[in-house]
Amino acid sequence: MAYEIPAPMLAKSVPGVPDPAGTPGGLAFEPKWDGFRALVAWDGERVEIGSRGAKPLTRYFPELVDAFARLLPEPCLLDGEIVVPVERDGRRRLDWESLSQRIHPAASRVALLAEQTPAMFIAFDLLARGGRDLQPEPFRVRRAELEDLVGGMPHPISLTRTTTDAELARRWLAEFEGAGLDGVVAKPLDEPYAPGRRTMFKVKHARTADVVALGYRIHKSGTGLGSLLVGLYGRDGTLHSVGGVAAWSNRRRLELVDELEPLVERDAEGEALRGEGERSRFQSARADSSFVALRPERVLEVRYDQLEGRRFRHTVQFERWRPDRDPRSCTYEQLETVAAYDLADVLA
């Protein structure tokens, strides 16, 4: 029995924990795990792990492949998060750096990290069980089936906790950050699984976005990277420049030029292609606004404060690289939309 791994159901950002009364059928709240989104297909013989962007993750987590084959009692298709917990000061918390290092081309390195920083899987949805497709079923049914399948399963597979109490969800939002979690997710209880659609809600501790690296400008000193230009895809599939990331240390600026070298766009003679960036009205007419163009293959997560039109209003801050993300998944739809508000009401 082979399962086709679908695109995962997604979430849209909201500023606070939503009121369940505002959603027909109510909401279920879960902690938002800070890891790699993963859909796991186990057909009774083989395990396949797909990422949010359909990137295969199977080879990077051999310890999980072994655990799924040993522990899952029947063929199934699970949705969840791969995380790496580490112990610090006597407490365990999620560690993004250890997780991101697991995406490595060398099989020997993957095997070593699987022993040194073993991952675990947090299950939060069940899309198929045996020969039954559960995606058309409401979440309340899928959750009950998930609890029956993996509830009480030993490490490294765990069932995420859930509640219908919005006040408890607000407590989770405040308290779980210390364990490395990312916020809270709200799921409509009566909704079916909707691959690729943003039918869930997420409340995060910071306003962040996944963006694509488009190019970079050389630092004003003449060496190293000065700023990294980033973009988002529109609904028509066009990649739009949305702003830049700066504030690198001197050492990091030099390292980034070397790291990004394999992505530099080149002409037939092997020369790096350069693009012309937008010029600020505060910028001198003589100032160089050109940039070294990069193939849009690398994703990073950034912190931002506000979107103005189709661009970030201010320079955004680098959060981390996202090797698990497909560049095509970096769209405007992920951004939080700030509610319109009349200035007169503020002044009043």
Listed residue (109, 112, 90, 86) closest to 99, CA to CA: 86
Residue 156, preceding peptide bond in cis (omega within 30° of 0): yes
Dist. CA 127–CA 143, nearest whole Å: 10
> Angle, nearest 10°, between helix axes 107-116 and 62-71?
60
CA dihedral 178, 179, 184, 190 (to 10 degrees): -150
Element (H, E) at 113: helix 107-116
Dist. CA 326–CA 57, nearest whole Å: 12
Dist. CA 213–CA 299, nearest whole Å: 6
Residues with Cβ within 8 Å of 195's Cβ and at least 6 positions away in sequence, in order, are 6, 7, 8, 9, 135
Asked whether the beta carbons of 80 and 5 are under 8 A apart, the reply is: no
- Pick the catalytic residue from 32, 187, 202, 204: 32
Task: Tell me which DSSP letter residue 272 carries.
Answer: B
**Residue 32 annotated among the catalytic residues of the structure:** yes
Please provide the size of the chain in residues. 348
- The alpha carbon dihedral of 217, 220, 225, 231 has a sign of negative
Mind telling me the catalytic residues?
A: 32
